[in-house]
């Protein structure tokens, strides 16, 4: 099988073409239903790259290599593509060798013997007599099933408040507003009570948006 060659900044020599065709021929023998192959050879200043792609109907095999010699890069790329083709061939053979569903032996589930029970006539007689007693000779009444009804209190009990005294949120000495804000941040308190230099009781309260609110007692 002949491959399609593309040379970038490189002229395809007969030796490179022969080496690529031989490698593609080996790969094509391993893969089923090969559509085509394409080899791209790129030459730069100190870099030679080879990109091998073999297309199939069910997928694609790719091999890439880089070297300072173009023949070495092409040979390595073909070896990598051939390794992938061998792996694909093994998977394909493993799937192909699996037996079909109809050939698989069906498992026989064990059947548990049923216990001896009364006949339908013996089971129906007591129910018929019981239904006749309840219906008093009229229509057959339905079977009553007891139902347990739970009742809940109309009002929910209010729990008693739990009060804890804390001296960590109260400043002992007078403070300015800036000092009180720093102290509340240091103590990690949302509410902080202090006196300013004039002796007025003030409360710092942290709101939900994170801002500190100052409340002065009258």
C-alpha span between 7 and 5 (Å, rounded): 7
pLDDT value at residue 132: 46
Residue 76 is predicted with a pLDDT of 92
pLDDT at 147: 76
Domain that residue 49 falls in: 4-96
Give the strands of the sheet with 212-216, arranged side by side: 191-195, 201-206, 212-216
Per DSSP, the residues of the chain read -PPEEEEESS---HHHHHHHHHHHHHHHHHSSSEEEEEEEEEE-SS-EEEEEEEEESS-EEEEEEEESSHHHHHHHHHHHHHHHHHHHHHHHHHHHTSPPGGGSPPP----PPPPP---HHHHHHHHHHHHHHHHTTSSPPPPP---------SSPPPPPP-----STTB-SS---HHHHHHHHHHHT-SEEEEE-TT--EEEEEE-TTS-EEEEE--
Q: Is residue 8 part of a domain?
A: yes
Among the candidates 96, 122, 153, a domain finishes at: 96
Question: What is the C-alpha R_g of the chain?
Answer: 45
Q: How many domains does the chain have?
A: 2
Residue 123 belongs to a domain? no
* 29, 63, 96 - which closes a domain: 96
* Residues linked to residue 60 through DSSP beta bridges, in sequence order: 55
Q: Whole-number mean pLDDT of the chain?
A: 77
pLDDT of 99 reads 60
Residue 167 placed within a domain: no
**Among residues 43, 66, 96, which one ends one of the domains?**
96
Domain membership of residue 118 (yes or no) is: no
Each residue's pLDDT expressed in tens, for the chain with a length of 218 residues: 678 889 988 888 999 989 988 988 888 888 878 888 999 999 988 889 999 999 888 788 888 998 888 889 999 999 998 898 888 888 877 776 666 555 445 555 555 666 655 555 555 455 544 544 555 555 556 777 777 776 766 676 677 766 667 667 787 788 888 888 888 888 787 888 888 888 888 888 888 887 888 888 77
pLDDT at position 112 is 61
- Residue 89 sits in a domain whose CATH number is 3.30.160.100
**pLDDT value for 42:** 92
| pLDDT tens figures, 52-105 | 999 888 788 888 998 888 889 999 999 998 898 888 888 877 776 666 555 445
What's the confidence (pLDDT) of residue 128? 47
- Asked whether the beta carbons of 76 and 88 are under 8 A apart, the reply is no
- CATH classification of the domain holding 202: 3.30.505.50
In a domain, 79, yes or no: yes
Instruction: Kindly state whether residue 43 falls inside one of the protein's structural domains.
Output: yes
């Amino acid at each position: 099988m002949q491959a399609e060659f593309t040379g970038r900044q490189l002229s395809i020599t007969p030796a490179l073409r022969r080496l690529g065709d031989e490698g593609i021929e080996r790969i094509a023998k391993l893969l089923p239903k090969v559509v085509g192959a394409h080899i791209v050879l790129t030459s730069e200043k100190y870099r030679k790259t080879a990109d091998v792609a073999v297309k199939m109907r069910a997928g694609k095999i790719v091999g890439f290599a880089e070297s300072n010699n173009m023949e070495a890069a092409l040979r390595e790329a073909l070896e990598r593509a051939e390794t992938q083709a061998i792996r694909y061939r093994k998977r394909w053979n493993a799937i192909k060798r699996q037996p079909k569903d109809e050939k698989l032996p069906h498992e026989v589930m064990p059947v548990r013997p049923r216990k001896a029970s009364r006949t339908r006539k013996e089971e129906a007689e007591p129910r018929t007599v019981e239904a006749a007693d309840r219906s008093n000779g009229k229509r057959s009444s339905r079977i009553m099933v007891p139902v347990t009804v739970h009742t809940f209190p109309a009002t929910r009990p209010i729990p008693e408040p739990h009060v804890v005294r804390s001296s960590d949120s109260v400043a002992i000495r007078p403070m300015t507003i800036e000092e009180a804000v720093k102290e509340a941040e240091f103590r990690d308190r949302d509410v902080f009570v202090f006196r300013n230099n004039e002796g007025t009781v003030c409360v710092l309260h942290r709101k939900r948006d994170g801002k500190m609110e100052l409340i002065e007692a009258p």
